Amino acid sequence: MKKLFGIFLFLAIVYILLLVSNPGARSFRNHFNLGQEIGLFSILSLGVGMVIITGGIDLSIGSVVGLSSTLLAILLVDEEYSPLEALAVILALGAGIGLIHGLLITKLGLQPFVVTLCGLFIYRGAARWISGEQNKGLGIQFPDLKAFFKGSSDEFPRFLIFFLVLAAIMTVFLHLSVYGRYLYAIGSNEKAARYSGVKTDRMKILAYVLCSTLAAWFSFLYLMQYNSAQPSDTGNFYELYAIAGAVLGGCSLRGGEGMVLGIFIGTCIIRILPNAITMWGIPSNLEFMIIGGTLLIGAIMDETIRGGTWRGLLTRLRARFGR
């Protein structure tokens, strides 16, 4: 909890910066859009956060989003699947992708970075192949479906509601269930977990399956919101945003650390920051630099405060120059 305090403070600062930027930033409309975005992108952070907790990484989720949103549009429009069938197909696709990742990593002993990096290329290529490089959209079809999932823009952001439900389930899963305890144990010391009788391979596979399945669920909501998918574009860089959110929220890439609430706060920062930049009227081509710089400052602050580096440094300096 103490760890979360720092990052929460950081979020508060970014949010205040947003509020004072210009009147438009304080509007309900802006908050609604932010809420939708946060609700959407937190799904990915949560998924990859779980993998990071086990000490792994998933670089492929952006491409999984590209592939499954493209496929979803094709199934719904070209193949005339019912929405439920189409959703089932892409969730199964996500689960299958995660299963393959998990099996390659646990049974063949490949490195998660390598496996999912290959995935990043393969699924992006697959998306472009099945679509013939054509953008796939829903057009004006499925108005009711879209309306139900996006919600209307004068009420509480519906994506955020969906996410809060998901977050509640994940909190129980990660922090109260046996599975969650096993995931943390694996991330902290996989050998010890194995020597305690934990089925480590199975648990790691589960984490990858959930991560990719959540990416597929994200694609569904994404298509509802944005109405079309660009096979070569949709989802680009999303894995990096997701990882950034999870890491900013306290997941250690060494594994064994991270909380649902922290991941959520981290994602909030990642989404609010660009909004604040736009609202301040800062040229949008500086956006990436500012995000990167902020992340770096956050990481430095986190390491120095938590690692006690400052205190160590001060003690040594004091000793060297005679207290």
Partner 1 sequence: MTPFLEARDVSKSFPGVQALSEVSLRVDSGEVLAVVGENGAGKSTLMKILGGVQLPDAGELFINGKSVRLLTVKDAERQGIVLIHQELSLADQLDVAGNVFLGREPTWGGPLKLLDSRIYRDAETITRRLGLECSPRTRIADLTVGQQQLVEIARALSLQSRLLILDEPTSSLTERETSRLFDVLRELKSQGIAIIYISHRLKEVEVIADRVSVLRDGKNAGELSKTEISHEAIVRLMVGRELKQFYPRHRPDVPADRAPLLEVADLRWQEKPGQSISFSLKPGEVVGMAGLMGSGRTELAETLFGIRPLRQGEVRIDGKRLSLRGPTQAISAGIYLAPEDRRVQGLVLSFSVKHNLSLASLDRLNRFQMICKGQETTLANDMVEQLRVRTPTIEQRVEFLSGGNQQKVVLAKWLCRDPRVLILDEPTRGIDVGARSEIYGLMDRLAQEGLAILMISSDLEEILGMSDRVLVMHEGGLAGALPRDGLTEEAIMRLATGGGLER
Footprint of partner 1 on this chain (CB under 8 A)?
172, 176-179, 181-182, 184-185, 188-189, 191-199, 256, 315-316, 319-320
**Shortest approach of partner 1 to residue 176 CB, angstroms?**
5
Name the minimum Å distance from CB 311 to partner 1: 12
The dihedral built from the CA positions of residue 24, 25, 28 and 34, taken in this order, carries a sign that is positive
* Residue 249 contacts residue 264 (beta carbons within 8 Å): yes
Residue 55 corresponds to which amino acid?
Answer: G
List b or e across 211-226, with b for residues whose CB sees 16 or more CB atoms inside 10 angstroms: bbbbbbbbbbbbbbbe
CB atoms within 10 A of CB 144: 8
Residue among 114 and 176 whose Cβ is closer to partner 1: 176
Q: Please answer whether residues 211 and 61 qualify as being in contact, where contact means their C-beta atoms are separated by less than 8 angstroms.
A: yes
For residue 228, what is the enclosing H or E element?
Answer: strand 228-229
Closest distance between partner 1 and the C-beta of residue 265, in Å?
22
Q: How far is the CB of 181 from partner 1 (least distance, A)?
A: 6
The identity of residue 216, as a single letter, is: A
Minimum CB distance to partner 1 smaller for 84 or for 319: 319
Comparison of 2 and 320: residue with beta carbon closer to partner 1: 320
CB of 192 to partner 1, least distance (A): 5
Residue type, position 91, single letter: L
3-state secondary structure of 136: strand
Instruction: Quote the longest CA-to-CA distance of the chain.
Output: 79
| Minimum distance of partner 1 from residue 285's CB (angstroms) | 38
The residue (of 92 and 192) whose beta carbon lies closer to partner 1 is: 192
- Taking alpha carbons only, the member of 4, 3, 114, 95 closest to residue 47 is 95
Pull the structure tokens for residue 104.
């390659």
Nearer to partner 1 by Cβ, of 29 and 175: the residue is: 175
